[in-house]
Homo-oligomer: A and B are copies of this chain.
Amino acid sequence: MASKFFAVVAGVGAGTGRSVALKFAQTYPVVLLARKPESYNSIVEEIKAAGGRAIGISTDTADRKSVDAAFATIKKELPDQKLAAAVFNASTGLSRKGFLDQTPEDFELSLRGNALGLFNFAQATIPLLLASTSDSPHPPTLIVTGATASVRGSAKFGDFAAGKFAVRALSQSLAREFGPQGVHVAHTIVDGIIDIPRTKAYNVNGGGPDSKIDPGAIADSYWYLHTQPRSHFTLELDTRPYNEKF
């Protein structure tokens, strides 16, 4: 693979992050960011085994210095490559506690892990994406993963929803500021349980096949968003299993 461009995915684990990384690795070298190396090590191996190129960097997106260090490493590791796509998939702060049991730390964890994380990641990637507008194969893209809680504040989800609403706010702002400069910012609303090992036992939507979202389908949707031409940018894409109540 001799792509002049690379992709970076922040927040990789067993679900969306891994699938998106594998998908984009079919075209680009991919940088994987996660706090713990065990979150990305096996994915890096998987990509390499498939003939792709991948780099994992231990990064806490909520920590500015950590993000700056990660992008310094990227610049050293991929000195001649430009950024084609950045995916922010980090998510944290779902305490599932009743409001009066939540602590300020629970609440800040969500605000920082979700919103400040995107802020830091976007400040690192937007300049790189802007620098790619003239020659990238597809419009340079920042895709942000949201959830049901991005558009609905439910009882006991105040902390998580606060972070997710804030992420959506920032995504809209970035789309409106940088879309006219040629960078595609998109926000997805993943409304359902993702089918990963950890959720195998979850009995949702009756429990039949396809009742949980296939992370491979999410990866396909992110690739579709990435390849949209600039005359046709989607800002928001929702997705849910066919039998999800909504």
A176 and B155 contacting across the interface, CB-CB below 8 Å = yes
What distance in Å separates the Cβ of A137 from its nearest Cβ neighbour in chain B?
15
A154-194 CB contacts (< 8 Å) to partner B: 154-159, 161-180, 182, 184
Task: Name the B residues within 8 Å of A217 (CB-CB).
Answer: 228-229, 231-232
Task: Name the B residues within 8 Å of A154 (CB-CB).
Answer: 172-173, 176
- B153, B161, B229, B240: the one contacting A233 at CB < 8 Å is B240
B104 and A119 contacting across the interface, CB-CB below 8 Å = yes
A213-228 CB contacts (< 8 Å) to partner B: 213-214, 217-218, 220-221, 224, 228
| Chain A residues in the interface with B (C-beta under 8 A) | 64, 98-100, 102, 104, 107-108, 111-112, 115-116, 119-120, 122-123, 126-127, 139, 149, 152-159, 161-180, 182, 184, 195, 210-214, 217-218, 220-221, 224, 228-244, 246
